[in-house]
Amino acid sequence: MREKVVIFTGAGISAESGLRTFRDMGGYWHQYRLEDVASPAGWKANPEAVLNFYNERRKAVLEARPNAAHLALAALEEFFEVVVVTQNIDDLHERAGSSHVIHVHGEILKARSTADRSLVYPLTTPELALGDRCELGSQLRPDVVWFGEEVRFIGEAARHFAAATKILAIGTSLSVYPAAALVDEARHSAEKYLVAPEAESVPYGYRFICGNAASVVPHVVKCWTEGRKPC
Ligand code: APR
């Protein structure tokens, strides 16, 4: 039975792939009101503005490439059972080669019916427009979790955290619940790290490693594959 490693990622791991974060300078929530573009009320009030917000982000995702952090995490699967729990809606972990990725906030490259949430369609074009309808004739929306909606797979993700011997949280401000509370599901005995260039608060029992994902994560992965703790 191989050791289980849980990787918990936020927008920061994709920053060096050119995708914007939310709360850093230049982040999305400095340009948009999240109520307008990432909530059911915003969708009701102006669905076109919401579709345009995600179309812009989807175009950026399709132009982005996985960076050294995504690639190092995929390589870690040769040595450990790796579960990636991500708050990100991009597919950079999958494109880097990670085979077990849990998207608790949904996926931008999928659309779903507004009449039946089980009807989900892969998006092959960057644009999703008003009038794009599901097989039942209802408008399609991005298959992402908006503020006020139920996050996904949170119980399954918590079980992985509780079973892990190593936890690596990368590029998240830990400011959005319930996802942020997952870090507290880890065992006391597990090795736990938070990687970011800055952190307002570090979860209890986690060691903060200051730096950017693309340089720090390959170092952590190298240490782990050599049976060492990152220095
Ligand atoms: N490498 C590592 N971390 C980075 C980098 C980098 N190159 N650049 C920025 N960061 C860190 C920032 O220091 C910050 O801690 O990434 C984090 C980004 O925080 P947020 O913008 O709040 O993103 P995130 O934590 O993913 O937000 C959680 O909020 O708006 C919702 O649904 C959205 O899933 C998102 C959730």
- Per-residue pLDDT of 43-54, as tens digits, reads 999 999 999 999
Structural domains in the chain plus CATH codes: 1-19+66-105+150-231 (3.40.50.1220), 22-63+112-144 (3.30.1600.10)
Indicate if the pLDDT at residue 177 is higher than 90.
yes
Mean pLDDT, residues 28-54: 98
- Per-residue pLDDT of 109-158, as tens digits, reads 999 999 999 999 999 789 999 999 999 999 999 999 999 999 999 999 99
Instruction: Note the pLDDT of residue 71.
Output: 99
Distance separating alpha carbons of residues 142 and 160, to the nearest angstrom: 27
Instruction: Note the pLDDT of residue 36.
Output: 98
CB-CB neighbours of 210 under 10 Å: 11
- Per-residue pLDDT of 191-220, as tens digits, reads 999 999 999 999 999 999 999 999 999 999
Instruction: Note the pLDDT of residue 231.
Output: 83
Mean pLDDT, residues 79-90: 98
Distances (CA, A) of 83 to 3, 108, 147, 195, 206: 11, 20, 25, 17, 18
What is the 8-class DSSP label of residue 125? S
Quote the ligand 1 centre to 202 CA distance (angstroms).
Answer: 14
Indicate which residues carry an active-site annotation.
Answer: 105
- In terms of residues, how long is the chain? 231
**Atom in ligand 1 nearest the alpha carbon of residue 9:** 26
Distance separating alpha carbons of residues 100 and 102, to the nearest angstrom: 7
Ligand 1 first shell, C-beta below 6 A: 10-12, 15-16, 21-24, 27, 87, 105, 171-173, 175-176, 195-198, 212-213
